[in-house]
Amino acid sequence: MRSVFFGDPYQIRRVYSAEVTAALEKEAGLRTDKIFGSGDIGDTDFSGVRYIFTTWGFPPMSEETLSSAFPDLKAIFYGAGSVQSFARPVLARGIKLFSAWKANAVPVIEYACSQILLANKGFFHSRAHGDVQSYDEARKAFANFPGNFGCPVGIIGAGAIGSGVIKKLSEHRLDLMVYDPFITEERAAEYGAKKVQTLGELFTTCRTISNHTANNASTKGMLTGELFAMLPKYSTFINTGRGAQIDEKGLVSVLEARKDIVAILDVTWPEPPEKGHLFYSMPNVILTPHMAGSSGNEVQRMGEYMLAEFRALEYGGALSCEVTAAMLETMA
* pLDDT tens per residue across span 140-167: 888 888 899 999 999 999 988 999 999 9
Q: Where are the beta strands (DSSP E) in 30-92?
A: 30-36, 51-54, 75-78
For residue 74, is pLDDT > 70? Answer: yes
The reply to whether domains 3-99+296-329 and 105-287 share a CATH topology is yes
Diameter over CA atoms, the chain:
71
**CATH code for residues 3-99+296-329:** 3.40.50.720
* pLDDT tens per residue across span 232-276: 999 999 999 999 999 999 999 999 999 999 999 999 999 999 999
Q: How confident is the model at residue 130 (pLDDT cuts 50, 70, 90)?
A: very low
* pLDDT tens per residue across span 272-308: 999 999 999 999 999 999 999 899 999 999 999 999 9
Q: Per mean pLDDT, which range of 78-87, 123-132, 142-151, 211-220 is the poorest?
A: 123-132
Q: Which helix (H) or strand (E) holds 6?
A: strand 3-6
Instruction: Supply the pTM of this predicted model.
Output: 0.83
For residue 325, is pLDDT > 90? Answer: yes
List Cβ neighbours of 166 (8 Å cut-off, separation of 6 or more).
155, 158, 176, 178, 188, 191, 192, 193
For residue 137, is pLDDT > 80? Answer: no
For residue 68, is pLDDT > 90? Answer: yes
The domain made up of 105-287 is a member of CATH 3.40.50.300: no
Domain ranges of the chain: 3-99+296-329, 105-287
